């Protein structure tokens, strides 16, 4: 089945399951790195917030062999899990006082998001960009965000300088940084590792450290936290290579363990091409923290 037919099959299948009382339509949504996804918007007229299900990955699952009914089951589950049963007060986001303590930042690729930057406040950092969003974490949303755009700044009557200052203050408090050894990170990912596996991983003494935030969401932004890389460099008594795993995490490697930085770049490119979703790619090369100069370069 071609993708266009798959989309129509999904729309009609979900309509049949959820009923005619809802509105259904596809919208093209530009995500990080300029990637355009097809979002199936399922709208309840009684609610101001509607779930959007992106069907692109489901088509990949279908091509890989998943049954169509299984795919519809998963989409239906996603819709039900993200449907807001109580009335959501979207108006609160129109008032700056209500959101100012939740303004935070993340970092994205500068070149790949050039089109997006026409509509949102941003600040260049190396060959990356700092962008700003409202962090939402309450009884309605476990972990959601709203990207701040230029129109919102006008409504709030604030400028980019104020948004940047608030994000600098809020982000390290809301998204606390975590630095862990690669061994500890791997152990966390395992469902129930036995003692022998734990002992083996911890005995490897890997020079690699994983840094993110506690939520593991947009965790690469910890690169901007004042003094974080500097203190890590002091701890390992070395300058540091910074590997951008994704927009969600970084890997730190003391420079004493790296003899040829081009190997790092080759590794990053390969992993980005084969392992990292396109919307999560941060950069195709490593960054270097120079301990003597106290600066990050690329």
Per-residue pLDDT tens over the stretch 177-191: 999 887 665 545 555
pLDDT value of residue 139: 47
Q: How far apart are CA 114 and CA 112, in angstroms?
A: 6
The kind and range of the H/E element at 30 are strand 23-30
pLDDT value of residue 12: 94
pLDDT value of residue 83: 72
| Structure token pair of residue 193 | 């590792």
Q: Cβ–Cβ contacts within 10 Å for residue 66, how many? A: 14
Per-residue pLDDT tens over the stretch 14-38: 999 988 888 999 999 889 999 999 9
Per-residue pLDDT tens over the stretch 232-264: 999 999 999 999 999 999 999 999 888 888 889
pLDDT value of residue 201: 44
Mean pLDDT of 46-66: 85
- Look at the block and give the residue holding tokens 């899990």: 81
pLDDT value of residue 87: 55
Q: How far apart are CA 133 and CA 147, in angstroms?
A: 4
Structural contact between residues 22 and 14, judged by C-beta atoms closer than 8 angstroms: no
Q: How far apart are CA 209 and CA 184, in angstroms?
A: 9
Region at 157 (left for phi over 0; alpha for psi -120 to 50; beta for the rest): left
Structural contact between residues 237 and 286, judged by C-beta atoms closer than 8 angstroms: no
Residues in CB range of 34: below 8 A, 6 or more apart: 112, 113, 114, 115, 116
Residue 253 per-residue DSSP state? E
> Distance of alpha carbon 24 from its chain centroid, rounded?
27
Query: What are the distances in angstroms from CA 187 to CA 22, 194, 202?
Result: 44, 10, 9
Q: How confident is the model at residue 150 (pLDDT cuts 50, 70, 90)?
A: very high
In degrees rounded to 5, what are phi and psi of residue 116?
-65, -35
Per-residue pLDDT tens over the stretch 94-122: 788 889 999 999 999 999 999 999 999 99
Q: How confident is the model at residue 81 (pLDDT cuts 50, 70, 90)?
A: confident
pLDDT value of residue 186: 55
pLDDT value of residue 82: 74
Closest CA to 99 of 139, 52, 147: 147
């Amino acid at each position: 089945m071609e993708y266009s037919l798959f989309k129509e099959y999904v729309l009609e299948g979900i309509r049949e399951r959820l009923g005619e009382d809802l509105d259904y339509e596809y919208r093209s949504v530009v995500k990080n790195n300029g990637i355009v996804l097809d979002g199936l918007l399922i709208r309840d007229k009684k609610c101001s917030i509607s779930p959007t299900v992106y069907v692109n990955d489901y088509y990949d699952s279908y091509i890989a062999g998943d049954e169509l009914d299984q795919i519809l089951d998963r989409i239906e589950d996603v819709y039900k899990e993200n449907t807001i049963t109580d009335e959501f007060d979207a108006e609160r986001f129109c008032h700056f006082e209500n959101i100012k303590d939740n303004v935070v930042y993340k970092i994205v690729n500068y070149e790949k998001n050039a089109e997006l930057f026409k509509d949102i406040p941003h600040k260049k950092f190396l060959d990356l960009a700092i962008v700003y969003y409202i962090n939402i974490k309450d009884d309605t949303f476990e972990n959601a965000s709203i990207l701040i755009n230029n129109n919102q700044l006008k409504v709030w009557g604030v400028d980019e300088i104020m948004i940047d200052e608030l994000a600098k203050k809020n982000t390290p408090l809301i998204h606390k940084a975590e630095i862990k050894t690669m061994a500890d990170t791997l152990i966390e990912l395992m469902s129930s590792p036995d003692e022998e596996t734990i002992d083996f991983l911890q005995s490897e003494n890997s020079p690699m450290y994983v840094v993110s935030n506690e939520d593991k969401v947009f965790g690469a932004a910890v690169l901007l936290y004042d003094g974080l890389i500097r203190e890590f460099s002091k701890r390992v008594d070395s300058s540091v290579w910074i590997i951008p795993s994704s927009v969600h995490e970084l890997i730190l490697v003391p420079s004493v363990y790296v003899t040829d930085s081009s190997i790092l770049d080759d590794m990053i490119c390969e992993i980005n091409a084969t392992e990292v979703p396109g919307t999560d790619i941060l950069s195709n090369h490593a960054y270097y923290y120079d301990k003597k100069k106290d600066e990050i370069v690329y």
